[in-house]
Amino acid sequence: MTDLRSAGLLGDYRSDRCDMVTDFYAPCLAVAKEYDRAVGYFSASVLAVLGRGLDRFAARGGTMRIIASPQLSAQDVEQIRAGYEVRAVLERAALKDLQDACEDPRAVHGLGQLGALVAEGRLDIKLAYISAGDRIGMYHEKIGIFRDGQDLVAFKGSANETMPGLVGNFESIEVFRTWEAGDSARAMRIDQDFGDLWYDRTPLLRVLDFTDAAKEIIESREHRSSGTADYVLPPLDGAMITVPRLDQPGQLAIPAELVVRDYQKRAVERWFEGEGRGILRMATGTGKTLTALSAAAQLARMLAKRDEPLLTVVIAPYQHLVDQWSRDIAWFGVTPVRAYESVNRWYGDASALLDALALGTRKGGVIVTTNATLAGGPLQDILERHRGHTLVIADECHNLGAKRLRDKLPANARYRLGLSATPERWFDDDGTASLRTYFGSVVFEMGIGDAIRAGALCRYTYTPVLVELDDEEAELYSEVTEKIAKLMAVRDLVDDADEDTPLGKLLRKRSNILGHARAKLPALRREISGRRDDWHQLLYCAEGRHPLVHEHGTSDEPTQLQQALMMVGQDLRMPAAQYVAETRRGERQELLRRFADGRDLQVLLSMKCLDEGVDVPAARTAYLLASSSNPRQFIQRRGRVLRKSLGKDHADIVDFIVVPLDQSPGAQRGTERRMLARELARVTEFARLADNEGQTLDILRPLRVRYGLLDT
């Protein structure tokens, strides 16, 4: 394009048919020498909207004239009524608009161009308002003119010269070109209307110079972006409004002080070899978060070379994990949008981020959200709007294979990275398949054994403690197992083990019978009494109440966690506290701090809250009172205590294993054998990497022989 005629302009533009910035504004600015605009609202952030077109416009020596009407607050109106000078009130309101633009990181580039145009005398701004008798009102017309030295293009319509006006709203404009016979007269009339406005010749309106008033706050932008003192604007009432420093664009970058391990580099390389899709099967404690952010930073850098922004969406199961991710993301140079809890707290920021990415005014951005918020309509609407590059990072991605979540993952994301120590979903082949379909196959594996050998996790000893079900528990276990067998005999239900399905509920109930076995508490007392002087001890309890409580219709029996807390804290007088779902966020952080200090909190008791993502590297001993036969849970819990920390190179895991009664009836032998096989699967997994593997396996050898499970 060399002039307006060659820009291929249409007679009208509408949001459902085009992108107004890309299809109209940018091409016109790329070839125009003059740009005049009169609008109801003007925000400096629009200069970020205009992007590259404005760069070329400024480089060619283009000139700009803008007439706008500031947004008057109720306080402004009251001051005018109270006798304040109208000009002073209008200038103050317009300066506040400009100040708001300075606070918006999307406007960094545009404000730089604005400052250059003002400094070189190539941008003038005026304020317009209605003045008729006692009436003070807003000028709300919207017209514009582009000139290239020979022709002009005039337009009018609904779009304001603001970020939402050009991007977020549904707008339309009509365009009139002087080289088109039917358009010429209309184009010239709009040009004349602007001239009358500029020179204050329009009845009912008054137009005031504003360039000099705006110059100081515009020029201060350079000082703020370079890290000097904030600019302070004195409003009419004498109070001081501080304009904060501008943020940096949102491109992730690997921190200089981060040491990326060789295996993490290999993981990133494998993901890129998979064309930006795949699952990293990495053991808990091996740095999945930093590996993923390193991959995201390299991808962002690659796309930035092509001047293409990247939206990164991080999905984590729980709010505390969103907070942990956000801290790491901030280390990589970006303040993310935390999308959880009240929609009003994050929707505007997320929407503004997507607008800026669509306009190319930010190099990138990050939204971190929970599984629950991802599934909600507001975030789905936000992500659906995005048409640029998207990277989805799913922490503990196995959770997203659940029926209620698998269809909520952004379908327009070209780049996808799943993270999990155990990406396969237990008893849910359909869910596992959906994860592979979305993220791709496992492209890198780093198991616990590999991590221990690499020095990423510490070595450990493993002690299985054998306990038995009592008669009532054994009978209930047998009943539930029979019901499970009948359901699983129906082929369609084999892959339907979500928590809320009949099969899922029965599996959970059977697991709870083992987890709540009453014989575990006396066994715990014996084990923990021998470690009364040791600190940094984790105690995992079964969730909820004993299944027999529900069977009997009573609720007076304390939960396992309550009984364990009383035993440890009162009977053994060991400083202890519980870390559960009801523990408030601030209190959780304080508990983890106290536990890590090792001075006044010796034992931390939990149920599921310490399973996924919570960092407790100081933990040296873990008691597994309850661990489901789902491999994911016990692998997560083992990884939790194997994290390295200062002064720690070894850990102990004490696992309470339910075994059959010595004198059980022969009719129960099949049920007992299956129960023992499930428990032994965990023992075998834990023992094979333990320093005391041989000793551990010897403990259970008699039972293996008795039930024919030597190969288990």
In 3-state terms, what secondary structure has residue 642? helix
Instruction: Fill in the DSSP letter of residue 521.
Output: H
Across the chain, what does the average pLDDT equal? 80
Give the predicted TM-score (pTM) of the model: 0.60
Is the pLDDT assigned to residue 606 strictly greater than 70? yes
Q: What is the mean pLDDT of residues 337-346?
A: 88
For residues 481 and 553, give the distance between their C-alpha atoms in angstroms, rounded to a whole number: 21
In this predicted structure, the answer to whether residue 699 has a pLDDT above a threshold of 60 is yes
**Contacts for 407-413 with beta carbons within 8 Å, 24 or more apart?**
408/374, 408/375, 408/380, 409/315, 409/374, 409/438, 410/313, 410/383, 410/386, 412/383, 412/384, 412/386, 412/387, 413/313
Residue 93 CB: number of other CB atoms within 10 A? 22
Helix (H) or strand (E) segment spanning residue 461: strand 459-468
Could you read off the pLDDT of 611-635 as tens digits, one per residue? 555 667 789 999 999 765 565 667 7
Task: Tell me the pLDDT band of 230, cut-offs 50, 70 and 90.
Answer: very low
Quick one: pLDDT band at residue 314, thresholds 50, 70, 90? very high
- Residue 667: the pLDDT is 44
DSSP letters spanning 469-491? --HHHHHHHHHHHHHHHHHHTSG
Q: How confident is the model at residue 703 (pLDDT cuts 50, 70, 90)?
A: confident
Beta bridge mates, 34: 63, 147
Following DSSP, what letter does each residue of 119-133 receive, concatenated?
HTT-EEEEEEEEEET
Query: pLDDT tens across 477-499, in order?
Result: 889 888 888 887 775 544 455 56
Residue reference for tokens 């009407």: 69
Per-state percent for the chain, helix, strand, coil, to nearest 5: 45, 20, 35
Cβ contact 40:69 at 8 Å = yes
- Residue type for position 295: A
Residues 6+ apart with CB under 8 A from 515: 542, 543, 560, 625, 626, 627, 628
Percent of the chain with pLDDT over 70: 78
Residue with tokens 């975030």: 379
Rounded alpha-carbon distances, angstroms, from residue 703 to 516, 698, 707: 22, 10, 6
Class for the domain spanning 4-243: alpha beta
Q: Is the pLDDT of residue 701 over 50?
A: yes
**DSSP alpha helices (H): ranges in 67-183?**
74-81, 86-103, 108-119, 163
Confidence of residue 652 (pLDDT cuts 50, 70, 90): very high
In sequence order, the β-bridge partners of residue 460 are: 651
Domains 4-243 and 262-453 share a fold: no
Given this model, what pLDDT does residue 137 score? Answer: 63
pLDDT digits (tens, 9 = 90+) for 364-420: 999 999 999 999 889 998 898 888 899 999 999 998 988 888 889 999 999 999 999
Lowest mean pLDDT segment, chosen from 23-27, 355-359, 361-365: 355-359
Residue 240 — pLDDT band, cuts 50, 70, 90? very low
Higher pLDDT, 349 or 50: 349
Percent of the chain with pLDDT over 90: 34
pLDDT of residue 110: 52
Q: Using an 8 Å Cβ cutoff, are 366 and 314 in contact? A: yes
Contacts of range 533-536, beta carbons closer than 8 Å, 24 or more positions apart: 534/602, 534/620, 534/621, 535/598, 535/602, 535/620, 536/595, 536/598, 536/602, 536/618, 536/619, 536/620, 536/621
Strand partners, 622: 538, 653
What pLDDT score does 236 carry? Answer: 36
Please report, for the chain, the start and end positions of each structural domain, with discontinuous segments joined by +: 4-243, 262-453, 459-468+518-707
For 73-125, how does the pLDDT look when each residue is reduced to its tens digit (9 = 90+)?
666 656 665 656 667 777 777 777 666 655 554 444 455 566 667 777 888 88
Classify domain 262-453 at the CATH superfamily level: P-loop containing nucleotide triphosphate hydrolases (3.40.50.300)
Is-contact 481 671, C-beta < 8 A? yes
> What's the rounded Cα separation, in Å, for the pair 164 and 45?
10
CATH of domain 459-468+518-707: 3.40.50.300
User: Distance between CA 626 and CA 542 in Å, rounded?
Assistant: 5
pLDDT digits (tens, 9 = 90+) for 548-577: 887 776 667 899 999 999 999 999 999 999
